[in-house]
Structure 1
Amino acid sequence: MYDMEQYYQATSVADAIAALGADPAAMPIAGGTDVLIQTREGRHAGCHLVSLHGLSELSAIREEEDGTLVIGSGCTFSEITNSPLLRPHINMLCQAVDQVGSPQIRNMGTIGGNVCNGVTSADSAPSLMALNAVLEVQGPNGKRLIPIGEWYAGPGKTVRQHDEVLTAVRIARENYEGFGGHYIKYGKREAMEISTLGCAVQVKLSADKRTVEDLRIAFGVAAPTPVRCPKTEAMAVGRTVDEALVKELGQSVLTEINPRDSWRASKAFRLQIAKEICRRAFRQAVAFAGGEIHA
C-alpha cells in the first residue's frame, strides 16, 4: 500500500538536514497527512523518507521580546487552534487551520507540512499571506528568513532547498496588533473538504473606527499559488468603512485573481464566489477590529 524504500527518524533538525543532504532522493515527512496519501497513490513510489515527527525543536509556540509570534513548523493544526497565546492575536489563522480535514487530520497534520506542500488550496496559506508571515528555514549553511510572498515558486513548488528544513513560522507584532481578521473557506461540503476557494482579510481601522488604515486580502485557489491583492488593498486605504467600499472591494479583487477551471468548480463560479466571500470576510474583519459598516 505504501511503496517506500527507506524511512529514517531524525533525532534533531541538524540530523534531518544531514540525512537530506546525504540522499538526493530523500523527502522530509512530519505529520504525514499529505505525503503518505501521495505515497499510497503511487506519486512517490520507492521514496526515501526522513521523519521530523516529534522533534521538540519544532513543536514550540512562543512570543519573543519584540512581540513576534513564533510557531514551530511541527505544531499541529489542533495545537495552533487551541493555543492560548495565538488565539487573542491571530485568531484568523487559528480559525483557518481548524477547517483542515477531520479532527484526526488536525491532530496529526502540521503547519510546516501544509506550507511546504506548496499547494494553493492549503487552508493556512491565505491567512499567513495576510499576516505577512516570514518562514524560517535551516540548512547546512545556517538559517535564512523568507517572506511568505517569496515562498511559492509555482503550483506545488516552494523555494525550500532539498537539504533545508522549515523550522518556524514567524509573525511580527506590526502585522497583527490592532488588526481584525477573518478567513472564509468555500467547499462543496461543510467538513473534510479541500478548499474550492479561500479568502483571508486582515484590516486595521483608524482610531475612530471609521476609515481603513491598512488592509490585506489574500486568496487560495484563485491562482496557481496563494496570492495577495495589492491594488485593491491600496485602493481601500483612507476610505470610509461603508457598503460602497464593500461592493467596490468585491469587484476590484476580480481584476487581481485568475482562478482555473477544474472538476471542483469552473473559473466563472470561482470568480463569483471570490467577490462574495471577500465582501463577507471584510465585513467580519471590520467587526473584529471594532468597527461597523454603515450603508
Structure 2
Amino acid sequence: MYDIQSIYRAVSVEDAISALQKDPSAVVIAGGSDVLIKIREGKLADSRLVSIHGLREELEGVTLLENGDIAVGPLTTFRGVTGSEIIQERVSVLGEATDLAGGPQLRAVGTIGGNVCNGVTSADSASTLMALDVRMHLRGPAGWRIVPISQWYQGVGKVDLGPAELLCRIVIPKENYDGWSGHYIKYAQRNAMDIATLGVSCLVRLSADKRICEDVRLAFGVAAPTPIRARTAEEGVRGLPVSEAAARLGSLALEDVSPRTSWRASREFRLQLIRELSGRALLEAARKGGAQL
C-alpha cells in the first residue's frame, strides 16, 4: 500500500513551481522509481505529491544545442539516454552508465533527473556526470539558476535545489566531451538489478599519437558520502604515457576518497576496488579513444 494524502498533476513547469510554492512540504514525483519506494517504506508516509510526469514536452529528450553543448531533459528515462543517437555518437560513456541502472523495467521508467536529485552517492549516472562536469539548469520562483555539478551535492541525500525549484536541464558543455573518450565500471554484488558497491567513471583526452594522457577526469560513486572527482589522481597522471598513468591512477586516487563500511562492503574492500578499477577504467577509455594497448 502507498500512503499518499494527495497528488497534483502539473500541466507545465510554471504550474509545478506554483504548486510547490503553495505547498512547500510537497514532494516532486516523476518516474516514481525512488519516491514510491520511500512511500512504501514509510519514509514519506502521508505525503502530498506534485507530479511532473506529464511534462514530457518541456522536460524530456536529448538535444544538441547550436553551440555544441548537449542538453538532457530530466524526464528522460535511463533507456532514453542510452538509446539517444546524440549520446551514442558523442558521449557514449553516459549511455553506458545509464544502461547499468537497475533492470529493464526500472530503466524504462526511472529518469536521469530523479537519479541526480535524490542525492545518493550510488546513483549510476552521477559519477559520469561528475566527470563530464555538467551544469544543472534550475528554474524556480526567482527564474533560472545554473549550478555546476561540482557544487550540486551538499551532503548525504542533499542537493542544491532551492524551495519550489525544478531541475529543467542537464547540460554537457562541448569542451567537456569533444575529443574525450570514457568508460564507466559498476561493481556490484550481482551482475544486474543491484545498487553499486562502487562506481568509477574515467574520461581521457589523448595526444595526437594516442600514446599520452593529455588530460584525465576520474569520478567515483560510493567512494565518499557524495559522488566525487579524484582531482589529486587527475593531476598526478596528466602528461604520462597511458600505461604508466593507468598503473599510478588507482594509488593516487586513494588520497581523494573516503569510503565507509556498509553491509555491502567494508571500507578496505572499497579501497581495493578504487585502486584496481581506476586503472582499468582509464585503459578502456584510452582504448576507445584509439590507443593501441
Aligned residue-pair number: 292
Measured after TM superposition, the shift of residue 279 of structure 1 is 1.1
Distance 1:245 1:58 in 2: 40
1:104 aligns with 2:105: yes
Q: TM-score, normalised by structure 2?
A: 0.98
Matched-pair contact (CA < 8 Å) for 1:241–1:292: no
Matched-pair contact (CA < 8 Å) for 2:77–2:107: yes
Q: Tell me the secondary structure at the aligned position of residue 170 of structure 2.
A: strand
Q: Tell me the secondary structure at the aligned position of residue 181 of structure 1.
A: strand
Superposed counterparts of 1:89-238, under 5 Å: 89-238=90-239
Query: AA paired with 2:192?
Result: A
Distance 1:206 1:115 in 2: 32
Equivalent residue for 1:278?
278
Distance 2:276 2:15 in 1: 47
Equivalent residue for 1:22?
22
Q: TM-score, normalised by structure 1?
A: 0.98
Matched-pair contact (CA < 8 Å) for 2:232–2:255: no
Q: Tell me the secondary structure at the aligned position of residue 167 of structure 1.
A: strand
Query: AA paired with 2:263?
Result: W
Query: AA paired with 2:285?
Result: A
1:263 aligns with 2:277: no
Per-residue CA distance 1:181-216 (angstroms, 9 max, x = gap): 000000000000000000000000111111111110
Distance 1:245 1:212 in 2: 7
Equivalent residue for 2:249?
249
Measured after TM superposition, the shift of residue 254 of structure 1 is 1.0
1:46 aligns with 2:46: yes
Query: AA paired with 2:62?
Result: I
Distance 1:259 1:292 in 2: 33
Equivalent residue for 1:86?
87
Q: Tell me the secondary structure at the aligned position of residue 88 of structure 1.
A: helix
Q: Tell me the secondary structure at the aligned position of residue 127 of structure 1.
A: helix
Distance 1:143 1:241 in 2: 41
Query: AA paired with 1:20?
Result: L
Distance 2:99 2:211 in 1: 31
Measured after TM superposition, the shift of residue 60 of structure 1 is 2.4
> For structure 1, which segment, 196-205 or 53-62, has the greater mean C-alpha deviation from structure 2 after superposition?
53-62
Matched-pair contact (CA < 8 Å) for 1:5–1:48: yes
Measured after TM superposition, the shift of residue 64 of structure 1 is 0.7
Q: Tell me the secondary structure at the aligned position of residue 86 of structure 2.
A: coil
Is there any run of 5+ residues in structure 2 with no aligned partner, and where?
none
Equivalent residue for 1:35?
35
Distance 2:242 2:153 in 1: 32
Q: Which runs of 4+ in 1 moved over 6 A?
A: none
Equivalent residue for 1:9?
9
CA RMSD for the aligned pairs? 0.8
Is there any run of 5+ residues in structure 1 with no aligned partner, and where?
none
